[in-house]
């Protein structure tokens, strides 16, 4: 919901049940973890299927909450924003990478030279 907007009756009713939905999500996740441990003697494939099914159900319930719908709205707008990005071409990427590598080598050599000179100076002082 956008700031400053007024909640309608159904939205207030849905938001009121969000606590119960989150409790159900947590309960399903706890059941998945405890059940996986409790049924350790059952085959791994069946336990993985059980955990995945419970996690999917928990995720679907979470998406019906206000925060879940906000998350979906954020994901949709992020996808639209990524589609608007102008990505660099391959030559631009290669050129930029080369410039960065050269800069790193130059700075590394400068730091090595400074370290070497200071080392000689200190050994001359300490003697």
Q: What's the rounded mean pLDDT across residues 107-115? A: 98
pTM of the predicted protein model: 0.54
- Whether 59 and 10 have beta carbons less than 8 Å apart is answered as no
pLDDT at position 10 is 61
Is 39 or 2 the better-scoring residue by pLDDT?
A: 39
Is 83 or 10 the better-scoring residue by pLDDT?
A: 83
Domain boundaries, position 71: 1-85
**79, 103: one domain:** no
Number of domain units in the chain: 2
**23, 63: one domain:** yes
Sequence-distant (≥ 6) Cβ neighbours of residue 72 within 8 angstroms: 63
**40, 55: one domain:** yes
**77, 24: one domain:** yes
**98, 119: one domain:** yes
Q: What's the rounded mean pLDDT across residues 58-81? A: 93
**2, 56: one domain:** yes
Residue 91 has pLDDT above 90, yes or no: yes
**6, 42: one domain:** yes
Cα–Cα distance, 61 to 74 (Å, whole number): 18
Nearest to 61 by CA among 31, 26, 30, 33: 26
Q: What is the pLDDT of residues 3-43, one digit of tens each?
A: 555 555 566 666 778 889 999 999 999 999 999 999 999 89
Please give the distance of CA 22 from its chain centroid, rounded to a whole number: 21
């Amino acid at each position: 919901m956008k700031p400053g907007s007024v909640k309608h009756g159904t939205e207030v009713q849905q938001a009121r049940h969000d606590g119960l939905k989150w409790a159900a999500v947590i309960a399903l996740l706890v059941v998945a973890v405890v059940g996986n441990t409790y049924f350790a003697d059952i085959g791994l494939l069946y336990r993985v299927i059980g955990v995945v099914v419970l996690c999917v159900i928990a995720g679907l319930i979470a998406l019906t909450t206000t925060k879940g719908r906000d998350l979906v709205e954020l994901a949709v707008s992020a996808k639209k924003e990524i589609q608007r990005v102008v990505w660099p071409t391959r030559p631009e990427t290669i050129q930029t990478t080369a410039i960065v590598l050269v800069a790193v080598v130059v700075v590394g050599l400068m730091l090595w030279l400074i370290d070497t000179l200071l080392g000689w100076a200190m050994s001359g002082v300490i003697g």
